[in-house]
Amino acid sequence: MTSNSQTILAILVTYHSCLILLGLWAARRAQTNEDFLIGGRNLNGWVAGFSYAATSSSAWVLMGFSGFVYATGLSALWMLPGIWGGYVVAWVVLGKQLQQRAHQHKYVTFTDFIAADTVSHARRRIVLASSAMILFCFIFYISAQLLASGSAMKTYFDIPSWHGILLAALIVGVYSVLGGFWAVSTTDMIQGIVILVIAILLPLAALV
């Protein structure tokens, strides 16, 4: 293993250790089901904002979209208005309405919001259908994140990509089970800050 790989490994070990510690810290705050599932409806604005940014601009941006722009050229930038427009609609329009109704009616999951104001037999069908759709879509989304982790580990440490996939799944699974949404949001905030710093420094380093 080269000195550069050793440095990266040390950073990863430190980073993953911090994630586990954050999971343990968050576990102490998750006293109720609402705490575990939705952060007790009391997330700090900065935490929620960075968590949203890190979740919506994750591996598909860092490894997918950036690679697509590199391969395609400036014409790929025409995707940005649609991407940013979607963010604005989701955050300002839909997010605000969803938050207000969730607080008012004590919704816990998104399916609660979708199935609101329906009769019992229709509600069950809506909940099952929406849950199946969310699960189906998340299979591909989460698979992409894990694949990106495996590819990065293979590149830097010359190990099979499935080793990196299992490691990433294990780390995320541990702190998610320990601290629930508190842990997920806090770690997302840290990752969002890291993404922001890298997005600023990497182009500067390329120019220098």
Q: Provide block-wise average pLDDT over 10 residues at a time, the chain (208 residues).
A: 71 82 81 82 82 76 77 83 84 82 84 81 86 89 84 81 87 86 86 83 80
Question: Residue 26 corresponds to which tokens in the numbers above?
Answer: 């968050």
Q: What was the pLDDT predicted at 3?
A: 66
CB distance 189 to 50 below 8 Å: yes
Phi, psi (rounded to 5 degrees) for 158: 55, 50
CB distance 171 to 153 below 8 Å: no
CB distance 54 to 186 below 8 Å: no
**One-letter amino acid of 88:** V
CA proximity to 129, closest of 109, 114, 139: 114
In sequence order, what are the residues at sequence separation of 6 or more whose Cβ sits closer than 8 angstroms to the Cβ of residue 77? 69
Say how far apart CA 172 and CA 142 lie, in whole Å: 11
Count CB neighbours of 149 within 10 A.
21
Say how far apart CA 174 and CA 188 lie, in whole Å: 15
Q: What was the pLDDT predicted at 123?
A: 84
Residue 47: domain span: 3-207
Q: How many domains does the chain have?
A: 1
Quick one: 158 exposed, middle or buried, by C-beta within 10 A (0-12, 13-18, 19+)?
exposed
Q: What was the pLDDT predicted at 158?
A: 78
Say how far apart CA 60 and CA 37 lie, in whole Å: 25
pTM of the full structure: 0.74
In sequence order, what are the residues at sequence separation of 6 or more whose Cβ sits closer than 8 angstroms to the Cβ of residue 206? none
